[in-house]
Chains A and B, each alone.
Chain A
Amino acid sequence: MSWLTHTSAGYSVLLALLFAVAAGLVGSFGLMKRMLLAGDVISHVALPGLGLAFLLKINPLIGAATTLFLGTLLIWHLQKKTGLATENIIGVVFAASLGIGAAVTPNDDIIEALFGKNLAISLFGFLLGTLAAGFIIAAIWNLRDRLVLTLFSPDLAAVTGVNVSRVNLYFLLLFSLTILVGLRFMGSLLTGSLIILPAAIGRRLTNKMSHFLIASCLASTLSVGAGFLLNTTLVSQIWSRTLYRHGCSLIICDQPV
């Protein structure tokens, strides 16, 4: 029994560390696209799905995945249709999602929805999570040149042959998939934080693209590692996660540019 618990905890830690790399990469490009706040906000698009899943007694991740996917497509479609900045559209979808989520989520489950829950992870769950995190890392790596060109100038990217609209959609979907994988461990609030804070730390430390990506991934991995350590040794789950947010914020404020 003890061996099984240890194996399961090992899976959780390994998967969380791999996810941290994915979140660091996605967060880095999110920061450059000025979508960092969207990380926190998009994660709330999962709330209505989580709430409904709790109500209907089905796997919360299925509910979260459904509303995240639909929300992402809605954001992309509205952005294309209206020409407004992504953050404006995300703000609108966020407000609606949070309202619906708060209304439908049972009181007993709200903490789990917001902060996540440390569940024992099966080998299948571990493999699925690893596949998803690995896919996010590979996809972002594959998209990186197109993302850089689009970030610099959508017009120049389009003239070069980049399908800008498709790149934006792929990135939004990867962004949402990252949040979905993160929801398994951290809940909607902390998943958003893991996308935002390491990227912001990385940006404070360097001016070069490759260094920035590495710094963000490192900050993300160290945060998750430290979080696990705090969680299992010193303080309660919610306090360790609150400390994570405030600790990272202090690093961002203290570091020179």
Chain B
Amino acid sequence: MKTILSVQHLTVNLDGHSIIPDLCFELHGQDMLAIIGPNGSGKTVLLRTLLNLLPYQGKIEWVEGTRIGYVPQRVAADRQLPLSVRDLLNAKAHFLKLSQTDTERIVSLTSLTPELLNANIGVLSGGQFQKILIALALLGQPNVILFDEPTASLDELTEERVYELLHRLKEEHGIAVILVSHDLSIVYRNATAVLCIGKNGACFGSPKEVLTPEALEALYSAPPKYYQHLREHHGL
């Protein structure tokens, strides 16, 4: 498969602290790359660096024509803004010069109801807000989406729906996904490649190579709790 992202010797230092030291990995078209690691290991920093939002040393090369969607862990948006969900989607659609049909397609794909579209962003629940962030990321037909713990504030049912959507995006729309997650069962079931970041360095490979009990114990400094059998029974 075609390489769409190549990261070579990436180093990120913030406020004099080394957050990511000398990281190398690649992302191929239709890959679902999961980034795992304990809290504070630099997973969100890595995503923001890949998006060119933070200063870095080394090489980050996206293939030409890459369109990126981003679903952050949280958005510190002012909930007092006089802004409806429709206002927000329209702003992005107008900026990217998308047609009304493009917006309607995303509205349908993410199952946004008319009530939700007309709601002010200040009254949305955590799950609804996450859904809007996903819809916003999908506008503009991205071929790569970066998800930073997309289900952190969601109930189990909504979480399941988000992963179904992720899977559909990958399979039906050929979108590559980079996913930060703490849920190792989800990672094992969905990811095609895993990048682990921890205090003892980084590792990169297929889930079977990386998600071994020994490697996870070294990464988290604790015995792992995940269930490999789910892949066989509930493989999405």
Query: Is chain B found bound to chain A in the same assembly?
Result: yes
B68 within 8 A of A: yes
Return the chain B residue nearest A146 by Cβ. Answer: B95
Bound-state Cα–Cα, A203 to B75, Å? 22
Let me know if A207 and B77 touch, CB within 8 A.
Answer: no
Mask: chain B, 23-55; 1 = CB below 8 Å from A; 0 = not: 000000000000000000000000010011100
Could you tell me if B95 and A149 are in contact, using CB atoms closer than 8 angstroms? yes
Residue count of chain A within 8 Å CB distance of chain B: 25
Q: Which listed residue (A144, A146, A153, A208) contacts B82, Cβ 8 A?
A: A208
The residues of B that contact A161 with a CB separation of less than 8 Å are 95-96
Q: Are B95 and A156 in contact (CB under 8 A)?
A: no
Q: List chain B residues, Cβ under 8 A from A152.
A: 75, 77, 81, 83, 88, 91, 121
- Whether B53 lies near A160 (C-beta < 8 A) is no
The verdict on A86 contacting chain B, using a C-beta distance below 8 Å, is no
Known: A32-B81, A152-B77, A208-B82. A159 touches B92 (CB 8 A): no
Q: How far does the alpha carbon of A208 sit from the alpha carbon of B84 in the complex, in Å?
A: 6
A window 132-184: CB within 8 A of B: 144-146, 148-149, 151-153, 155-156, 158-162
Are A155 and B95 in touch, CB under 8 angstroms? Answer: no
In this complex, how many residues of chain B approach chain A with their Cβ under 8 Å: the count is 28
Distance (Å) between the CB of B178 and the closest chain A CB? 13
Summed over the interface, the residue pairs from A and B with CB atoms below 8 Å come to a total of 76
Which of A158, A160, A203, A208 contacts B96 (CB under 8 A)?
A160
Rounded to whole Å, the gap between the CB of A231 and the closest CB of chain B is 32
Asked whether B188 is an interface residue with its Cβ less than 8 Å from the other chain, the reply is: no
Among B51, B76, B91, contact of A159 (Cβ-Cβ < 8 Å): B51
A209 at the binding interface (Cβ < 8 Å): yes
Cα–Cα distance between A206 and B77 once the two chains are bound (Å): 19
Of residues 193 through 230 on chain A, the ones whose CB sits less than 8 Å from some CB of chain B are: 203, 206-212
Closest to A33 in B: B78
Would A148 and B82 be within 8 Å (CB), given that A155-B72, A162-B95 are in contact? no
B87 touches A208 (CB 8 A): yes
State the Cβ distance, B121 to closest chain A Cβ, in Å.
8
Q: Restricting to B58-98, which residues have a CB under 8 Å from any CB of A?
A: 68-70, 72, 75-78, 81-84, 87-88, 90-92, 94-96
For A147, give the chain B residue with the smallest CB separation. B91
Q: Which residues of A contact B92 (CB under 8 A)?
A: 145, 149, 160
Instruction: Find out whether the CB atom of A148 lies under 8 angstroms from the CB atom of B84.
Output: no
A residues less than 8 Å from B75 (CB atoms): 152-153, 155-156
Minimum CB–CB distance for B70 against chain A, Å: 5
In the complex, besides A156-B136, A162-B95, A207-B84, 12 extra interface pairs with C-beta distance below 8 angstroms are A32-B81, A32-B82, A32-B83, A144-B91, A145-B90, A151-B83, A155-B51, A155-B72, A159-B51, A159-B68, A160-B140, A212-B82
